[in-house]
């Protein structure tokens, strides 16, 4: 079982550490455990309870009322809300709980409900991608473990590949060409798969090169394919200190292309962005770019 600090609980739930401590003292909502060296920690059950409490509070429940509820009552109320709610924050919270519990059935219900109500694209843009941004930051901070991240990522990957398979790559010679790749050693593919889907569904052309592409192969493929645009997402690689150098090299080596970049390594630090590089912080920004440049 993973050990969480009170800061981890704050980051995952959005509830300030100071507030959590007050709830501990006043309502005995959770009781921190202690290591042999007297360091406070929380377990998975504590985290799930705090996430559930956070969601109920957002729906008007008073903390004094929640504190009197049995844990099963809290869980049932939250399940009811996340399965019926059309609020993106509720569904993102539901996915977080599904990840922690490794609950595939819960994941399926949330995604299926949203897809039926809004379609796959809006589900990705408004729920899945913001959820992954949140989880990516928490994973890098060590607040979730590799197994949890792999569990939820693989479920989302399956859904996305099915959606991509439903799209035919455009044969229109006037359609714009997008070359999609991840840098060498970068294996976080979901954002790029989403981008692939968004381009294809708008009848533009894609060559998808996937993860961990050696730079020399990128040059060779670009020379052969002659894309209008190149798309990449930096989540872990290049490492933070090398990102500026890598972007500058891309901009110089592919000076006749427009390069679209995103990912935490790009958007979470100040960078000098070359003229032929466009940074999209959200999938909605990428959609706008595709539609404006068809």
- Give the pLDDT confidence score for residue 73 in this predicted structure: 87
> Does the pLDDT at position 218 exceed 80?
yes
* Cα–Cα–Cα angle for 211, 292, 159, rounded to 5 degrees: 40
Q: At what angle do helices 71-84 and 104-118 cross, to 10 degrees?
A: 30
CB 201 within 8 A of CB 121: yes
Q: What is the DSSP letter of 240?
A: G
pLDDT band at 177 (very low <50, low <70, confident <90, very high): very high
**CATH code for the structural domain at 169-292:** 3.40.50.280
User: SS3 of 232, please?
Assistant: strand
- The residue extents of the domains of the chain are 169-292
> Does the pLDDT at position 45 exceed 70?
yes
In which residue are the tokens 């399965």 written?
83
- Give the pLDDT confidence score for residue 138 in this predicted structure: 65
Give the mean model confidence (pLDDT) for residues 197-209. Answer: 94
Strand arrangement, sheet containing 229-233? 205-208, 177-180, 229-233, 258-262, 277-279
Task: Average the pLDDT over each of 64-73, 79-88, 246-255 and give the range with the smallest value.
Answer: 79-88
pLDDT band at 113 (very low <50, low <70, confident <90, very high): confident
């Amino acid at each position: 079982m993973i050990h969480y600090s009170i800061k981890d609980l704050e980051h995952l739930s959005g509830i300030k550490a100071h507030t959590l401590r007050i709830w501990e003292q006043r309502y005995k909502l959770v009781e921190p455990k202690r290591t042999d060296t007297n360091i406070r920690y929380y377990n998975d059950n504590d985290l799930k309870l705090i996430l559930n409490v956070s969601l109920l509070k957002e729906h008007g429940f008073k903390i004094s009322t929640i504190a009197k509820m049995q844990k099963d009552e809290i869980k049932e109320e939250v399940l009811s809300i996340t399965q019926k709610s059309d609020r993106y924050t509720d569904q993102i919270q539901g996915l977080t709980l599904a990840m922690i519990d490794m609950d595939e059935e819960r994941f399926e219900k949330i995604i299926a409900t949203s897809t039926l109500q809004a379609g796959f694209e809006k589900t990705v843009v408004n729920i899945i991608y913001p959820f992954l941004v949140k989880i990516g930051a928490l994973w890098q901070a060590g607040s979730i473990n590799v197994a949890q991240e792999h569990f939820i990522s693989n479920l989302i990957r399956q859904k996305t590949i099915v959606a991509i398979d439903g799209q035919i790559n455009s044969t229109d010679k006037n359609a714009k060409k997008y070359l999609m790749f991840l840098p060498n050693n970068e294996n976080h593919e979901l954002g790029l798969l989403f981008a692939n889907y968004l381009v294809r569904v708008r009848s533009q052309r894609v060559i998808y090169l996937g993860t961990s592409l050696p730079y020399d192969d990128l040059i060779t493929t670009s020379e052969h394919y002659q894309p209008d645009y190149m798309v990449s997402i930096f989540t872990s690689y290049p490492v933070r200190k090398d990102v500026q150098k890598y972007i500058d090299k891309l901009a110089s080596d592919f000076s006749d292309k427009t390069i679209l970049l995103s990912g935490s390594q790009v958007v979470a630090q100040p960078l000098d962005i070359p003229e032929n590089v466009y940074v999209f912080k959200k999938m909605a920004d990428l959609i706008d770019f595709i539609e404006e440049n068809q």
